């Protein structure tokens, strides 16, 4: 996993490295500047004439280092420093002095069109208020700039914790952030303002490695998914999935397929009797067919005995039978239970039943479903996704997967997972059904609910990226994500 930090945590880590480990602040800064300089070259930014815009804090001081390194490498570079000299940090004053000794050009005014690249070192993780005055005017001038923009640590104007724009912000092509990704670079809109995001090691260190509060999955988590050569279809897990309705068949097919494609041993689909004929194209699935709401109790109890994990929701509809199915599952489930789509729509008013469920429950709402379920609007969630997801998970006593461009996963504890892969091509019908199946498949193979949810969302995002590569973001279908998930697992 990859740790992600808030601005405050980053400042504490900086301070610890400087004060406790004894690494001089200027050494960290030199490494930070060098990393940005090297990244700009490596990423092919046009460096024939560069303007470095600096604020009065240490982000600005990084900028002066970058200007010096560009100057020493023979590039034409101008530095423009904004802000009151009385507010310059100690490091900033030192960097300006060093810069002057080298003879780099400091300018007071500039015309953006003269430059091929602009380095944004105005504000870093120290941003603490709405951007106004000269900072704002300068950032607004960059809107007509046609060259490339490299942001130092974080695009100026982006809140390091929430990704919100404080009045206005720099839209960068490249952001080189130091030590750890900041939460505000991972959440939208900050993620979009960052452009290509690189994380650079500058020597930040902490002796007591604590477990991160916020993290993203990486391939390392996927690589833990191994098959046992002596396993059998029973040991790879049995999935019971209540999905599909008279009107909707595809959702059941997609999520059922995804459960098997992610490696589960067996699948039993619980679906209306009328659907029997449709499943001839899915011979791998066993069927548990129901006719009316009265059938449910025995059917659910029998199948829960058989299964290792249960899921409900994709294409389920909201008929009385569907509602009865959900209630019965909540009443009797003693194995992990994943609730998605219509299962979530049917949850309204059943909070008590949900709370009393003996099984660990995973809810996978997209934001529309989340809003319907909780009464918290999408707009409100987007303002503070980490806290709201955590608080809701805690309140409902569930593991919550809030699906969006950046899916957030919480079980109400201090630790939150954010997914950084995937793309807008995944906003296509049935994509969420595939995710439900993947999570069920991983649960069936023995992953804990937390591991299955975090790894499942990551696998889904990676599969979405592979599908986009093959088919294009507009043309890709949920079935392509499903197929790609299999390929990702194969490559591992
Ligand atoms: N030695 C260190 O501490 C290191 C610091 N680093 C850099 O230092 C940055 C953090 O430095 P600082 O804590 O000095 O903070 P910043 O440089 O991000 O900004 C702080 C300054 O901006 C002012 N400010 C805040 N919001 C403003 C607004 N809206 N409009 C105008 N001014 C505003 C503050 O009053 C303060 O003077 C990091 O982002 C990183 O770039 C890196 O060089 C790594 C090492
Ligand atoms: N812009 C985006 N970037 C990354 N992932 C996205 C984006 N839009 C949607 N997704 C992902 O696609 C999936 C869509 O799920 P959902 O809305 O439930 O689809 P459906 O109900 O059609 O199956 C979610 O996992 C979501 O995180
Ligand atoms: K910046």
Helix ranges, 384-430 (H): 385-396
Is a pLDDT exceeding 90 seen at residue 250?
yes
CATH number of the domain within which 169 lies: 3.40.50.10260
Write down the pLDDT at residue 292: 86
Q: Is the CB of 119 under 6 A from ligand 1?
A: no
Enter the DSSP assignment of 424: G
Based on the structure, what is the number of domains in the chain?
2
Of 277 and 423, which is predicted with more confidence?
Answer: 423
Same domain, 135 and 248: no
What residue owns the CA closest to ligand 2's atom 21? 432
Name the helix (H) or strand (E) containing 8: helix 7-15
Same domain, 92 and 6: yes
Which residue among 209, 244, 271 closes a domain?
209
For ligand 3, the distance from its centroid to the CA atom of residue 91, given in whole angstroms, is 16
Same domain, 227 and 187: no
Same domain, 14 and 136: yes
Of residues 328, 324, 310, 346, the one with CA closest to residue 272? 324
What residue owns the CA closest to ligand 2's atom 1? 424
Task: Name the residue of 39, 55, 172, 202 whose CB sits within 8 Å of the most ligand 1 atoms, as the mutation to test its pocket.
Answer: 55
What residue owns the CA closest to ligand 1's atom 37? 57
Return the SS3 of 453: helix
Which structural domain range is residue 145 located in? 2-209
For ligand 1, the distance from its centroid to the CA atom of residue 251, given in whole angstroms, is 49
pLDDT in tens, 175-211: 999 999 999 999 999 999 999 999 999 999 988 878 8
Crossing angle of the two packed helices 320-332 and 296-306, in degrees rounded to 10: 50
Distance CA 312, CA 409 (A): 19
Distance CA 403, CA 367 (A): 6
> For 92-101, 226-235, 248-257, 456-465, which range has the lowest pLDDT when averaged over its residues?
226-235
Across all residues in the chain, what is the average pLDDT? 96
User: What percent of the chain is modeled with pLDDT above 70?
Assistant: 100
Same domain, 327 and 357: yes
Any bridge partners for residue 176, and if so which? 152, 198
Q: Is the CB of 430 under 6 A from ligand 2?
A: yes
Same domain, 192 and 241: no
Which residue among 189, 209, 229 closes a domain?
209
pLDDT in tens, 130-159: 999 999 999 999 999 999 999 999 999 999
Nearest ligand to the C-alpha of residue 409? 2
Is a pLDDT exceeding 90 seen at residue 398?
yes
Same domain, 132 and 88: yes
Global pTM reads: 0.96
Buried b (16+ CB within 10 A) or exposed e, 328-347: bbbebbebbbbbbbbbbbbb
């Amino acid at each position: 996993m990859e740790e992600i930090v808030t601005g405050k945590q980053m400042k504490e880590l900086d301070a610890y490295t400087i004060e406790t480990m004894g690494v001089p602040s200027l050494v960290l800064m030199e490494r930070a500047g060098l990393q940005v300089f090297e990244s700009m070259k490596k990423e092919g930014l046009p460096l024939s004439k560069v303007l470095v815009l600096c604020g009065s804090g240490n982000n600005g001081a990084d900028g002066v280092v970058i200007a010096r390194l560009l100057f020493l490498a023979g590039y034409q570079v101008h530095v423009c420093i904004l802000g009151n000299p009385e507010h310059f940090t100690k490091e900033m004053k030192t960097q300006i002095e060093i810069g002057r000794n080298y003879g780099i050009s400091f300018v007071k005014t500039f015309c953006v069109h003269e430059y091929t690249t602009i380095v944004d070192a105005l504000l870093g993780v120290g941003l603490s208020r709405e951007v106004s005055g000269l900072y704002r005017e300068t950032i607004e001038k960059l809107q007509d700039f046609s060259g490339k923009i490299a942001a130092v640590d974080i695009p100026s104007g982006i809140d390091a914790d929430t990704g919100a724009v404080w009045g206005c912000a720099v839209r960068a092509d490249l952001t080189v952030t130091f030590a750890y990704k900041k939460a505000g670079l991972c959440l939208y809109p900050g993620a979009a303002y960052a452009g290509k995001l690189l994380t650079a090691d500058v020597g930040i260190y902490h002796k007591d490695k604590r477990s991160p509060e916020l993290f993203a999955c990486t391939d390392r988590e996927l690589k833990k998914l191994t098959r046992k050569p002596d396993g059998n279809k029973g040991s790879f897990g049995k999935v019971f999935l209540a999905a599909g309705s008279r009107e909707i068949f595809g959702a059941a097919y997609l999520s059922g397929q995804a459960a098997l494609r992610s490696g589960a041993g067996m699948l039993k689909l619980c679906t209306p009797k009328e659907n029997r004929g449709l499943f001839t194209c899915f011979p791998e699935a066993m069927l548990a067919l129901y006719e009316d709401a009265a059938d449910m109790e025995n059917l659910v109890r029998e199948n829960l005995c058989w299964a290792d994990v249960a899921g409900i929701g994709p294409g389920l509809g909201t008929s009385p039978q569907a509602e009865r199915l959900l209630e019965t599952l909540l009443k009797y489930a003693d194995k992990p239970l994943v609730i998605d789509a219509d299962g979530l729509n049917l949850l309204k008013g059943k909070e008590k039943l949900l709370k009393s469920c003996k099984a660990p429950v995973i809810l996978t709402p997209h934001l529309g479903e989340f809003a319907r379920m909780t009464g918290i609007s999408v707009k409100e969630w987007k303002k503070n996704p980490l806290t709201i997801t955590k608080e809701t998970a805690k309140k409902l006593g569930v593991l919550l997967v809030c699906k969006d461009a950046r899916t957030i996963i919480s079980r109400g504890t201090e630790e939150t997972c954010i997914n950084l892969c995937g793309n807008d091509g995944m906003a296509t019908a049935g994509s969420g059904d595939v995710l439900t199946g993947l999570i069920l498949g991983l649960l069936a193979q023995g992953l804990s609910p937390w591991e299955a949810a975090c790894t499942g969302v990551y696998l889904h995002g990676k599969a979405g990226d592979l599908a986009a590569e093959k088919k294009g973001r507009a043309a890709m279908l949920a079935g392509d994500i499903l197929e790609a998930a299999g390929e990702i697992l194969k490559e591992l």
